[in-house]
Structure 1
Amino acid sequence: MIPYGRQLISQTDIDAVVEALQSPLITQGPRVSNFEQAIADYCGAPYGVAMSSATAALHLACLALGVGPGDRVWTVPNTFVASANCARYCGADVDFVDIDPNTGNMSITALATKLTEAQASGHLPKVIIPVHFAGASCDMAGIAALTKPLGIHIIEDASHAIGGQYQEQPIGNCAYSDCSVFSFHPVKMITCGEGGVLTTQNAELAEKVATLRSHGITRDPAHMHADNPEPWYYEQHALGFNYRMTDIQAALGLSQLSQLDRFTQVRNTLAKRYHDAFADSPVSTLQVPADMYSSYHLFVIQVPAAHRLATFNALREAGIGVHVHYIPVHWQPDFATLGFQRGQFPAAEYYYSQAITLPLYVELTEAEQDFIIQQVLMLARQWS
Structure 2
Amino acid sequence: MRTRAAVTYGLNTKFDVKEVELDDPSATEVLVHLVASGICHSDMHHVTGDQIAQLPMIFGHEGAGVVEKVGSAVSHVKPGDHVVMSYLPSCGTCRWCTDGQTNLCDLGAYTVQGPQIDGTHRFHDDEGTGLGQFCLVSTFSEWTVVPGQSVVKVEPHYRLERACLVACGVTTGVGTAIYRGGVRPGDDVMVYGVGGIGMNIVQGAKVAGAKRIIACDINDWKLEQSKLFGATHTVNPTVTDPVEFATELTWGVGVDRSFEAIATPETIGAAVRSVRKGGVATVVGLTRHDQPDIPINPSEFVLWQKTLTGSLNGGCNPRNDIPAMLRLWDSGQIDLDGLVTKEYRLEEINEAYDDLLAGKNLRGVIRYEWADNGVDA
TM-score norm. by structure 2 comes to 0.28
**Greater C-alpha Rg:** 1
TM-score norm. by structure 1 comes to 0.28
Bigger fraction of residues in helix: 1
Instruction: Identify which of structures 1 and 2 has the higher relative contact order when contacts are C-alpha pairs closer than 8 Å and 6+ apart.
Output: 1
